[in-house]
Each structure stands twice: as C-alpha cells, then as structure tokens.
C-alpha cells in the first residue's frame, strides 16, 4: 500500500507540475519590517471571485524553468497521513537569478491518533533567506480545489499559536507561513484533501539545497491550543538559510 501511495503521489506531482502553463500573475509581496503587520490576507473565506495572491498557472510567471522536484510522504505517529510535493523553478542564472519554491499537499483519511479524525493541515511553513524579499502566490488548479491560500506572512507562528491578546504573530523572516485548510474528512464542513500549489518567490544567490528541516507542517485547529501537533520534514530551500527552529531557536539534530 505504501509503495502504491508513493507511486500515485509521484504521478500526481508530474501531472501537476507539467500540466498547466504560466499566465496572469498576482503575486503578493510580504512585509519584512519590524513595525509592519506580519500576515497578508489572500482568500480567507475561500471565495471564488477573490484574486489576491492568486496566479493563473504553474508557477504563475513566465520565463521560469523547473530545476528540481520531489515527492515525500507526510508521517505522524508512524502513520502516513499524506504526501508533500516540492518543486523549484528558476529564471536567470548566477547570484541574480529569481527562484520560485512551490509546495502542494495531499492528505488521506488514515487514523493517526486516538481521536479517529483525519489529519488536518492548517499551516505549511518553509524556510527562506531572512534578508531577501519574498512574494507569495497560489494556483488552485482546474478544476479548482475548494480551499484556497487563506493568508501568508513571514513568521513561524501558525493558527491558534498566538499568545492571548495578540493580533499578529511574531515576525521571523527566515520562515514563510502559508495558511491553508486541508482535510480529507473535515468534520466541520467542506473537505479539501488537496491544497492549492503554494508558491514562494525569492532569491537564492548560492543556489538551492535539500535540507532535513525545510518545512514545518502544523495541525492546530483545536479549541485547546495545547492539542496542536506539528512535524518538520525535508524540502528544498536556499543555500545559506539560517539553521534555526521556530522563534529563532537552534534546530535539534
């Protein structure tokens, strides 16, 4: 079954990567200043007519070439709960090249804890260079997935992780938070087992690398924030990205 899942995921990634063209774009530049609001709303209500952050195709801008792509399983409590598709496109060469890092997740209904609920993904966070500008976009496919990119910001604090009384998460420019709602069997409404393609446009002067803690995936849609769970997993990131965990702490080996 695991082999079948991995083969299916790989086939899906290839079709998704090469099955759409780049056209109109609406990438949104994220703030980076200490006194600026961290989160940028994209489509918080999943409405079909909203264009903020939405692009028309993969990766949403012309002139980019795919240079890396991989598929990995998402595992929690030794249970495979989904798959992560990770791709990188580049335009130009050398230190001035532009890069687009793309991610997409597909989850299943496997029981992974005592609750019996399917694994829910609320935030997909990926590392980036803190001193480089970042813009984000999403492509919801044809036919489009029902749940869009809700919001994005340069932080590693996700849904329900703010301290009481806070309105905006702590800034951490070495991470980009992509707020989604992905669940194959959502008990509260419309299920969306597949996320949109989530794009991060930035610079990588020294190129890219496959790193063990490039992604943080968060499941935190609980009334009690202490019930939230997360996991770190491998992915592509710019070479030279700080080796820190959330909040600037050193990542444990």
Most trustworthy range by pLDDT among 5-14, 76-85, 238-247: 76-85
Residue 51 in domain: yes
Q: Is 13 exposed, middle or buried (0-12, 13-18, 19+ CB in 10 A)?
A: buried
Nearest Cα residue to 55 out of 89, 92, 12, 10: 89
In this prediction, residue 11 carries a pLDDT of 52
Using 50, 70 and 90 to split pLDDT, how confident is the model at 202? very high
In this prediction, residue 17 carries a pLDDT of 46
Report the half-sphere exposure of 87 (CA within 13 A, side-chain side). 22
Higher pLDDT, 30 or 166: 30
The whole-number average pLDDT for the span 165-184 is 94
Does the pLDDT value for residue 57 go beyond 80?
yes
Residue 72 in domain: yes
101, β-bridge pairs: 88, 200
Residue 188 in domain: yes
The whole-number average pLDDT for the span 163-185 is 93
Residue 118 in domain: yes
Residue range of the domain that includes 35: 2-248
pTM, rounded to two decimals: 0.90
Residue 214 in domain: yes
The whole-number average pLDDT for the span 228-234 is 95
Residue 253 in domain: no
In this prediction, residue 246 carries a pLDDT of 75
Using 50, 70 and 90 to split pLDDT, how confident is the model at 13? very low
Domains: count for the chain: 1
């Amino acid at each position: 079954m695991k082999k079948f899942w991995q083969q299916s995921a790989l086939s899906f990634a290839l079709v998704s990567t090469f099955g759409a063209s780049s056209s109109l774009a609406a990438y949104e530049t994220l703030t980076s200043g200490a006194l600026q609001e961290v989160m940028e709303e994209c489509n918080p209500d999943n409405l079909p007519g909203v264009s903020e952050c939405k692009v028309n195709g993969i990766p949403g801008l012309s002139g980019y070439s795919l240079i890396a792509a991989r598929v990995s399983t998402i595992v929690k409590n030794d249970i495979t709960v989904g798959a992560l598709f990770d791709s990188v496109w580049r335009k130009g060469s050398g230190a001035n090249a532009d890069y687009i890092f793309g991610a997409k997740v597909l989850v299943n209904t496997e029981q992974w804890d005592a609750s019996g609920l399917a694994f829910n993904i609320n935030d997909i966070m990926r590392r980036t260079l803190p001193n480089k500008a970042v813009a984000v976009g999403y492509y919801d496919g044809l036919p489009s997935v029902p749940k869009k990119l809700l919001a994005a910001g340069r932080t590693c604090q996700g849904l329900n992780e703010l301290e009481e009384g806070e309105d905006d998460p702590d800034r951490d420019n070495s991470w980009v938070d992509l707020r989604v709602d992905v669940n194959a069997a959502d008990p509260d409404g419309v299920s969306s087992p597949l996320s949109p393609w989530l794009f991060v446009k930035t610079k990588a002067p020294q190129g890219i690398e496959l790193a063990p803690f490039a992604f943080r995936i968060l499941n935190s849609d609980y009334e009690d924030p202490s019930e939230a769970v997360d996991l770190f997993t491998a992915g592509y990131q710019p070479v030279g990205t700080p080796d820190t965990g959330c909040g600037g702490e050193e990542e444990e080996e």
